[in-house]
Structure 1
Amino acid sequence: MSTVATDTASPAPARHGRASWVPYVLNLPALLVVGTLILVPLGMTFILSLHSFGMYTGVSSDISLANYAEIVRDPYFHEIFLRTFRISLFTTLLAAALGAPEAYILHRMKGSWRSIFLLVMLGPLLISVVARTLGWAMLLGSTGVINQTLLGLGILTTPIQFMYTETGVVIALAHVLMPFMVISVWAALQRLDPQVENAAISLGASPFTVVRRVILPQIMPGILTGSIIVFALAASAFATPAIIGGRRLKVAATLAYDEFLSTLNWPLGAAIAVLLLVANIVIILGCNRLVERRYAQVFE
């Protein structure tokens, strides 16, 4: 009997050993794609950023940190990076302030209406970002629809300057990135039990108290997740700041573009792109730690 039991149990380690490398084999195509299309270009960009550039000699073969030192020392680059992250921060705050209530309203709608308004909310993602931004340019311009309407109603005497300002860029970016916030918050709302709201109301809580004490703490992880996505996309956005901000209101992405295609200083443009990526990664990792802690507090 002992021999039979031993023979029956012996194949288990083999199955376990075979199963241990199966996930790696299944993930190998994705790893190859990531390595080839993302990691290799990033590595080449970093190597390019270590070279120097001369107006008459072009990109040299020497290796140094001169480009990074120039960015760190020059207040011009400080201003552009601060503007980039300031615009990203205000875009994230505006998207959270408008997207979270919108997601909650969608969550409370009936099925047929929810589908319609969900399609309307996701509509901007179905249109080219350039087309959307040009639409905002026609709305926000001095002779645009918004200013002309307010002037016609007598509310304004002079047009409000939205174009070529940070305010205009924030408004356009918030519209472009709003669906990412709504989707993140809506995913968090799927875990929310409606009976918890009913229980709070039956115990005498006001609607505002229910939102503040019951709903908001449970959807906060979704808000933080959406904020990470919106901030990262806003910080690396190019088309919207280039069209709404123009040539005078540069951000890191448009500055790197100009260095690559206007001055042809590829190493400096690569250094700007690398620093923008590193700053984004640091901010995202810090916020991700905050999200993980929030999830642990809500669902523990």
Structure 2
Amino acid sequence: MGVGTTTTSAVVRNRPPPRLDGLPAILGSIPLTLLFLTLVLTPLGLTIVLSFNPFDYNKGVLPGHTLAHYAMVFSDPYFLGIFWRTFWIAGLTTLICVLIGAPEAYILSRMRKPWRSIFLLVVLSPLLVSLVVRAFGWSMLLGPAGPLGKAAQALGLGPLLYTPTAIIVALVHVMLPFMVIPVWTSLQKLDPAVEQAAYSLNAPRLQTLLRVVLPQTAPGILSGSLIVFGLSASSFAIPALLGGRRLKMVATIVYDEFLTELNWPLGAAIAILLLVANVIIMMAYNRVIERSYRRSLG
């Protein structure tokens, strides 16, 4: 009797927990669905609706629907220039973060304790400071009275503040952790014995990095690039503080339309176009990287 009771208790303890299939699973997902609808889809839907409303500077937002705001953005060289500046700055920032962040993550993955923890904290340190504080810090460094600004003037490079260079430097500083962490996570899954096997076969270090290490880090580089590009293209504080009033990006022009011009429909249309352009560029980039990754594995 005692043996049977013990066996039954062990079976009960080892039995896997019941799965939430059917109605219980649906009921469990309702709170998250409502939260997603409230915080993401509802504001996005209201912004889309607002972008089609007519606007009059004397009467404000009017009822009805119009495509005039989208037509204005596509036909005005001023807005097209701002979109082009935003995307090439975001693209160059992403490229610099890849060139700096991927080797940095590789070196970080090869470190031993406690140096790995110390340098990981150094990499994450920009995230511990407010974005506005970092932007003001770069404005002081790159300004005419700052050390970097004085050095640039002494070398004949001209002023750095309120130029695309200032925006790119600050964006790289802010976005670099978002590149290092995904690549470092991918490198944690790489068996060091595979790299050592390549060296044992007399493979050069560069060839080993390109043929063995790089394909394994491609998912991390892809995810980090998407994060950096999306955040850079929609960045507001750094372009506003380091670009000034003349060097605008899409986020700053949306701010001006909403709070300065009070043309909310035009600001909403620009914001929606930025979102759509970001999604298209990121999906195309994702497809290209995935194809090259599959070819390298094949």
* TM-score (norm: length of structure 1): 0.88
Task: After TM superposition, list the pairs within 5 Å mapping 1:117-156 onto structure 2.
Answer: 117-148=119-150, 156=154
Amino acid at match of 1:184: P
Q: What residue in structure 1 maps to residue 12 of structure 2?
A: none
| Residues 40-79 of structure 1 mapped to structure 2, 5 A cutoff | 40-79=42-81
1:93 has 2:91 as partner? no
Residues 215 and 293, structure 2, Cα contact 8 Å, conserved in 1: no
CA displacement 1:155-195 (0-9 Å, x = unmatched): x3546422111111111001101001001101111121101
Letter in 2 for 1:49: S
Residue equivalent to 2:13: none
Per-residue CA shift, 1:216-248, capped at 9, x if unaligned?
121122111110010000010000000111110
Give the counterpart letter for 2:226 in structure 1.
I
**CA distance in 2 between partners of 1:150 and 1:86 (Å):** 23
Change in CA separation of 1:235 and 1:117 when aligned onto 2, cut-off 3 Å: same
Shifted more, 98-107 versus 281-290: the winner is 281-290
**Residues 1:283 and 2:278 aligned together:** no
Distance in 2 between residues matched to 1:79 and 1:255, nearest whole Å: 12
**Superposition pairs for residues 229-240 of structure 1, below 5 Å?**
229-240=227-238
Q: How many residues align?
A: 282
Q: 1:192 aligns with which of 190, 198, 215?
A: 190
Q: Distance in 1 between matches of 2:20 and 2:124?
A: 44
Structure 1: any 5+ residue segments left out of the alignment? 1-14
Alignment match, 1:272:
270
| Pairing of 1:215-294 with structure 2 (within 5 A) | 215-293=213-291
**Hey, what's the Cα distance between the residues in 2 that align with 1:24 and 1:229?**
31
> Cα deviations across residues 88-139 of structure 1 (Å, max 9, x unaligned)?
0000001111000110111000021111110111011111100011111111
d(CA) in 2 for partners of 1:228, 1:65: 30
CA distance in 2, matches of 1:286, 1:247: 32
Secondary structure of 2:162 counterpart = coil
SS in structure 2 at match of 1:111: coil
Segment drifting more, 115-124 vs 17-26: 17-26
Aligned partner of 2:207: which letter? T
Say whether the 8 Å CA contact 2:215–2:297 is kept in structure 1.
Answer: no
2:174 corresponds to which letter in structure 1? V
Q: How much does 1:30 deviate? A: 1.9
Distance in 1 between the 2:260 and 2:63 partners?
21
Distance 1:234 1:285, change over 3 A: same
Structure 2 counterpart of 1:167, one-letter code: T
Counterpart of 2:8 in structure 1 is none
Give 1:9's aligned residue. none
CA-based RMSD: 2.1
How far apart in 2 are the matches of 1:157 and 1:285?
A: 41
**Structure 1 residue 150: deviation in Å?**
6.5
Deviation at residue 23 of structure 1 after TM alignment: 3.6
Relative to 1, partners in 2 of residues 1:147 and 1:123: Cα closer, same or farther, differing over 3 Å? same
Residues 39-58 of structure 1 show CA distances to partners (whole Å, capped at 9, x for unaligned) of: 10111111111011111111
- Is the CA contact 1:142–1:160 (under 8 Å) kept in the aligned structure 2? no
Choose which of 12, 31, 34 in structure 2 pairs with 1:29: 31
Distance 1:44 1:123 in 2: 37
Aligned partners of 2:24, 2:221: CA distance in 1, in Å? 36
Determine the C-alpha separation between the residues in 2 that align with 1:234 and 1:196.
35
Alignment check: 8 A CA contact 1:147 1:159 kept: no
- Alpha-carbon distance between aligned partners in 2 of 1:198 and 1:47, rounded to the nearest angstrom: 58
